[in-house]
Amino acid sequence: MDRCARARDWAEIQERMLVPLYEAVYARLEVGSGTRLLGLGCGSGLALLMAASRGAAVTGVDAASPERLALARERLLPQAWGTRARTDTRILDGADTEALGNLAEAPGERPYNLVTAFEPIGCVAGDSEGLGELLAAAKPLAGRGTPVVLVGWGPPERCVASSVLRVATKLAEPLRTTRSWRPALRDDLEEVAQRAGLRPDGSGRVACPFGYADVDSAVRGLLSTGLFDAAITATDQAQVDKELTEALHTHKRRDGTVWMPNVFRYLIARTP
């Protein structure tokens, strides 16, 4: 699949599924005009845009997809619309840890008082390792006691999408890859926080149903997550599309829409 098209599918179809999570976190932490937010793995920037609409100064970092980052710039940097740019909004190029290191060395850089990592972990084996490196690089940029928000999938029995995501695991099995989907574990977030030297200070669960206009939109949205990449490598795009479509028909409603209730969990940890 074309990388630009997949990034657009993420921004237009899939990313909005986590809006209830963003809203719950921002309300709990009272995000507003006094907030300086650093978004790790910011993707195409919807969570940052929501924080900025509350008056927060936002900085986004993401090395996983230059195409998503380009969309974040379109959303967040006013010069893309021919207006004056806000100096408190930044979307950073380059490797995540490199970009954060450059920020830490910038003269006069004020500490951030909120760090978010909204990309859910615990659905791909090994996905927490890269996040640990990011958190280590981000800690020098945050003030003491700064809340750091980590997000993961809820229990498989509370996530209807788990049955569909298992297609990715089944098809990727010939490669025996560690990058295929796996069910979330209860202590995924706490283990990441502990390794990063952060102190847990509360958590919550938020209902984030996956709703799509039709099966085709659901296929495009789920493929845009990258969770099926290993399956595509192990088989081919046509096989993945076919089996994913078949799995989604179970969740198709009479009006043609697709609906899958899910629960996501967030952990608030604090810097030492």
DSSP codes, 207-233: E--EEESSHHHHHHHHHTTSTTHHHHH
Residue type present at position 267: L
Give CATH superfamily name and number for 3-158+182-211+261-270. Vaccinia Virus protein VP39 (3.40.50.150)
d(CA 130, CA 32): 29
Residue 173 has what pLDDT? Answer: 74
Closest CA to 75 of 57, 89, 54: 89
Residue 49 has what pLDDT? Answer: 95
Residue 259 has what pLDDT? Answer: 98
Residue 115 has what pLDDT? Answer: 97
**Tens-binned pLDDT, residue by residue, of the chain (272 aa):** 688 999 999 999 999 999 999 999 999 999 999 999 999 999 999 999 999 999 999 999 988 889 999 999 999 976 544 444 455 788 987 676 777 887 877 777 789 999 999 999 866 656 667 788 889 889 999 999 999 999 999 988 899 998 898 898 888 876 555 455 566 667 889 999 999 999 999 999 999 999 999 999 999 999 999 889 888 988 999 999 999 999 999 999 999 999 999 999 999 999 99
Q: Structure tokens of 187?
A: 């202590």
Residue with tokens 């989907």: 181
d(CA 251, CA 254): 10
Q: Which strands, in side-by-side order, build the sheet including 147-153?
A: 89-92, 57-61, 36-40, 114-121, 147-153, 263-270, 199-207
d(CA 151, CA 246): 29
Q: Structure tokens of 228?
A: 């099926």
Residue 156 has what pLDDT? Answer: 85
Residue 84 has what pLDDT? Answer: 47
Residue 169 has what pLDDT? Answer: 83
d(CA 58, CA 46): 12
pTM of the entire predicted model: 0.90
Residue 94 has what pLDDT? Answer: 67
